[in-house]
A and B are shown apart, each in its own frame.
Chain A
Amino acid sequence: MESIRAEKVVKAFGETRALNGVTLEIRPGELFFLLGASGCGKSTLLRCIAGLESPTSGAIYFGDRDVTAMAPHKREAAMVFQSYALWPHLTVAKNISFGLEERKVPKDETKRRVEEALAMVKLEGFGERSIDAMSGGQQQRVALARALVVRPKCLLLDEPLSNLDAQLRIEMRREIRRIVKEFGLTAIYVTHDQEEALAMADRMAILSRGVIEQLGTPEEVYRDPRTSYVAGFIGETNLCDGVIEKDANGYAVRFGQVRLAARITNPDWQPGDGQNGKVSMRPEALRIDPAGQIAAKVVEKVYLGQSIQYWVETAFGRLQVVEQNPHRIYGPGDALMLAIDVADVVLLEK
């Protein structure tokens, strides 16, 4: 187990800066997610850590080793590629044993470890197959086995599940997490799928335009987003403009007649009374409650069985509301009142 550290990493491609001073530390044995929309720099950061790209400035450390200038193959960081990059001219077993041959591992041990690796990804008996004879999910497992068989200190995964169908993706999530934890690997996982990150990550960093917007556990990032970008990117949310009010009891937000108690999540931001701000309210945090303060009119409903989604019109804009286990169904045109707890009204910088 090893920690991975990036310090002020900058990567410029000509004029554009894919990474603009990224600093982060990944703890030993952690499954860490790099998350962001395409073009945010997450893959570039991973490739810098793997050594496939060298940073324009800044440094990368594995434990105490400065690996910034080290050749990729000496870093002991095995990578799983988005396209799997399985060699079509080699069999499944040959693909897996490749790294062992490079490390001059004796023949019988190689054979044993390849068998083990196949068993670990539940592909016993597939060793002599050709790559083309494997389905997408199986290829994904082979790619994973190929990276793990060399017993790397850390594992780098570049959108490993993006080529699989939804069902398989959910199955492989648990599989990958199980394997990473079983091996005690420090792993970095790049994805644009926020659900994947919430479901699997120990901690995650959300990148945007080459900088880290927020870093934290899934709960922290979901519950306490610090920017409206993060609030909108992780999960569904209602972002509304309002006026901030500050008094001895704390913060509140006013939308015309409606005033809601609110909280701030970013300790570095101390807005003043009367300042304009944004508010994030999760759809599932809004309750249908006759005692609520927000008057709303249903515009559209989507019934999903276990839950129901409403789009409602309020004095300050259109909101999405999700009710779990709905007993009474409202239809378009129905008027209702909404309530929300102070903990769920998050004030954000505009």
Chain B
Amino acid sequence: MRKEYAWTIMVTVVILFAVFFVYPAFTIVGEAFGKKGGGFTFAYITAVFRDPVYLEGLWNAFALGIVSTAATLLIAFPLALFSHRYDFVGKKWLSVLVLVPLILPPFVGAVGVKEMLGVDGALNAFLIDLGWMEAARPYDWLANGRFTGIVLMNALHLYPILYMNIAAALSNLDPAMEQAAQNLGCPPWRRFWKITFPLTLPGVFAGSSIVFIWAFTELGVPLVFDYARVAPVQVYDGIKDLGGNPLPYAIVAIMLVISAVVFAVSKLVLGRSPLGTAPRPKGRSNDVVLRGVKSWLVCGVFVAVFLFASVPHLGVIFLSVSNDWYQTILPSELTMRHYDEALGNSLVVPSIQNSLFYASMATLIDLLLGIAIAWVVVRSKIRGRAVLDSLVMLPLAVPGLVMAFGYLALSQPGKPFAFLIGADGNPALLLIVAYAFRRLPYVVRSAVAGLQQSNPVLEEAARSMGATPVRTLRKIALPLIGANLAAGAILAFAFAMLEVSDSLILAQQSEHYPITKAIYTLLSTLGNGVQLAAALGVWAMVFLSVAIIGAAVIGGKRGGLFKV
């Protein structure tokens, strides 16, 4: 590839990133440190740390991040290890099914869980039915376990990300590594701790840092669980007096720093990892084929995780078809009227149209940028391509909340991004830009993986026969990595549809709401708003399960997509 092309792409991407990613993020930092009349101050930051309410919020968010990550790890690691090491009943289907939790924004799932585990929910009804609980004194699982509830929701939603990272790390391991230890007399359990685990740590760290940042800055779930004393919710509440109060900015800046540190540490661990230069696996693996009880046991673990992780989804589905679901195990009366009504609701149909439009446009931008970036990173020899590669991964490190806040501040009338807001306050362009940059890493990663796997000689052959670089790209390279691109694009699309922070904060008028904001708004609508929200949630689930299963099938080698 000609150097000029590479440099043009590189400079374009860097400028776009500087404008639409770095600038908004630093605006937050600027607001947090900038005095009203100009100048620099630590006053707002210290004010946050002096305020016991804000301090508690930050601490709670941090604790949620840590505990959620640990819980996620506890679910994901055994699953990944089992599916790597054993062959068992239904493995092919189960290893795709465990990805299903990704299809529902966790805050919608939280609504379902509230119905299942609330005072008058299905679990209590079940326990009362069994006679294990007095009907007069039902236990309030959620009020007493709000923190636990949020952790559970996070873990059940996020474990697939970690699962895929660890599975990828395991499959990149030369099977001979373990066999050598086995050959030298190391029994299975010790082999795991001495060889397998240390060698998969980079994958664990990569996945964990994403999960931590996600849980640490999660806004939707605490909102639904009415858990106000957590930093993201405090920031969200703080929007109302954005003009006057600099403290939300300060909180966001602190969260940004913490996230960046976590990301940097994980990168450092990854960079130092001896696996950096390890060759691709060469040895032959031998999957242990389990038989009889053992096979069913492992299968049972997968099914249990899947069932447990589907509790929120089931809750949402039941809710969407229930006339009246109160103090009973299952809804006492089933109806489709919420779906009917939803179609007539002024929020529902436009929000689906909006989300489809925003997400498709964002995905299109991601594809164009992603292919160009991957091309430079993999095929060009220019300096700084490694920097470019890390730069485009940064959106994984910066909380959506921070970005949303940055965009909000910059799109106020008279600010530089005001042009992105349409004349009637339409945030379409702003949301598309926001979605595109946040989901770009998925497309870049899959395109990079695809290009790395395909042999450059195939492209050189086309060039030597007189094809221009552009034609080579279109006729040879792109068709070869089509499956990777499709998988990355589907994920980017799915996560754009599910985006919460930007959607909630940037869409201000109901006719421009995306699905997530529509659901959130419906939840607080009187009457059957909750059921309508659930019906809309089910629609979203249907869209996304098709998309994600498609991505998993097309992508084939899962995991690469989520690697940092």
Chain A contact residues, CB within 8 Å of chain B: 43, 47, 50-53, 72-74, 77-79, 81-89, 98-99, 102-103, 130-132, 146-147, 150
Contacts and interface: CB of A to CB of B under 8 A. Distances in A.
Interface of B is mostly: helix
B184 A78 contact: yes
B349 to A, nearest CB: 52
Nearest to B181: A98
A83 B185 contact: no
B464 interface: no
Interface of A is mostly: mixed
A314 B185 CA distance: 60
Contact of A102 (B184, B275, B282): B184
B199 A87 contact: yes
B278 interface: yes
A88 B199 contact: yes
Given A84-B176, A146-B180, 4 more contacts: A73-B184, A73-B186, A81-B283, A87-B180
B195 interface: yes
Contact of A89 (B179, B190, B199, B284): B199
19 contacts: A47-B284, A50-B183, A51-B183, A74-B185, A83-B283, A85-B176, A85-B180, A87-B177, A87-B181, A88-B277, A88-B278, A99-B184, A102-B185, A130-B274, A132-B274, A146-B180, A146-B184, A150-B184, A150-B185
The 3 A-B pairs at the shortest CB distance, nearest first, are namely A88-B274, A99-B184, A85-B176
B180 A79 contact: yes
B184 A85 contact: no
A315 to B, nearest CB: 44
A307 B144 CA distance: 91
B286 A72 contact: no
A149 to B, nearest CB: 9
Nearest to B279: A83
Contacts, number: 79
Given A88-B275, A89-B274, A98 B199 contact: no
A52 B184 contact: no
A72 B181 contact: no
Contacts of B198: 89
Contacts of B324: none
Nearest to B201: A89
Nearest to B202: A89
B187 interface: yes
B174 interface: yes
Contact of B180 (A51, A53, A81, A130): A81
A78 to B, nearest CB: 6
Contacts of B183: 50-52, 72-73, 77-79
A150 B183 CA distance: 11
Among B184, B187, B190, B198, the one with the most A-chain Cβ atoms within 10 Å of its Cβ is: B184
A84 B281 CA distance: 11
A98 B274 contact: no
Nearest to B186: A102
A85 B274 CA distance: 13
Given A85-B176, A132-B274, A98 B284 contact: no
B346 interface: no
A82 B199 contact: no
Contacts of A88: 199, 274-275, 277-278
Interface bin, chain B = 20 to 34
A85 B199 contact: no
A132 B273 CA distance: 11
B96 to A, nearest CB: 23
Contact of B176 (A83, A130, A146): A83
Contacts of A89: 198-199, 274
A82 B184 contact: no
Contacts of A150: 184-185
B335 interface: no
Given A83-B174, A85-B180, A89-B198, A73 B185 contact: yes
B182 interface: yes
Among B275, B281, B284, the one with the most A-chain Cβ atoms within 10 Å of its Cβ is: B284
Contacts of A147: 184
Given A87-B195, A88-B275, A81 B185 contact: no
Given A81-B179, A89-B199, A73 B187 contact: yes
Nearest to A143: B180
Nearest to B194: A98
B224 to A, nearest CB: 42
A82 B175 CA distance: 12
A55 to B, nearest CB: 13
Contacts of A53: 286
Given A52-B286, A87-B195, A88-B278, A73 B180 contact: no
Given A52-B179, A130-B274, A132-B277, A85 B185 contact: no
A284 B182 CA distance: 47
B185 A103 contact: yes
Contacts of B186: 73, 98, 102
Contacts of A78: 183-184
B283 A82 contact: yes
A73 to B, nearest CB: 4
Interface in B278-334: 278-279, 281-284, 286
Nearest to B276: A132
Nearest to B182: A72
Contacts of A132: 274, 277
A85 B179 contact: yes
B362 to A, nearest CB: 39
A213 to B, nearest CB: 23
Contacts of A102: 184-186, 190
Contacts of B194: 98
A229 to B, nearest CB: 25
Contacts of A72: 179, 182-183
A99 B185 contact: yes
Contacts of B184: 73, 78, 98-99, 102, 146-147, 150
